[in-house]
Amino acid sequence: MTDKGYDAKINREAARERGICPIIPYRENAVHKPAFFPKKLYKTRARIEQTIGKLKRFKRIALRCEKTAQNYAAIIAFVCAVILIKSVHTA
């Protein structure tokens, strides 16, 4: 899932060669615009970007302070748990 900046035939073909279904919205001035576009799938892109934004609020993740991939993954898991607890706990 990408934005309109990646709307090019070569990008779509590269994704298909890798077995990826490209979910890239067509630009307004596109010549061959298909009638169907999976808007529901594209809306999940916003959720993904919001989650990445929340993760980057934590300095250790944004600056990648951890040296090993295992430690970095552990910090990501911890921060995801913190974000989940904050979203559930409203009081």
Domain ranges of the chain: 1-37, 51-91
Query: Of 60, 84, 88, whose CA–CA distance to 73 is shortest?
Result: 60
What predicted TM-score, i.e. pTM, was given to this entire model?
0.57
Report residue 2's pLDDT band, with 50, 70 and 90 as the boundaries. low
51, pLDDT greater than 70: yes
What is d(CA 42, CA 23) in angstroms, rounded to the nearest whole number? 7
The rounded mean pLDDT for the chain is 83
Residue 4: DSSP 8-state: G
C-alpha distance across the termini of the chain, in Å: 35
Full DSSP string of 41-66 = HHHHHHHHHHHHHHHHTSHHHHTT--
The pLDDT score that the predictor gives to residue 46 is 79
Exposed, middle or buried by CB within 10 Å (0-12, 13-18, 19+), for 43? exposed
Contact call for residues 22 and 11 (beta carbons, < 8 A): yes
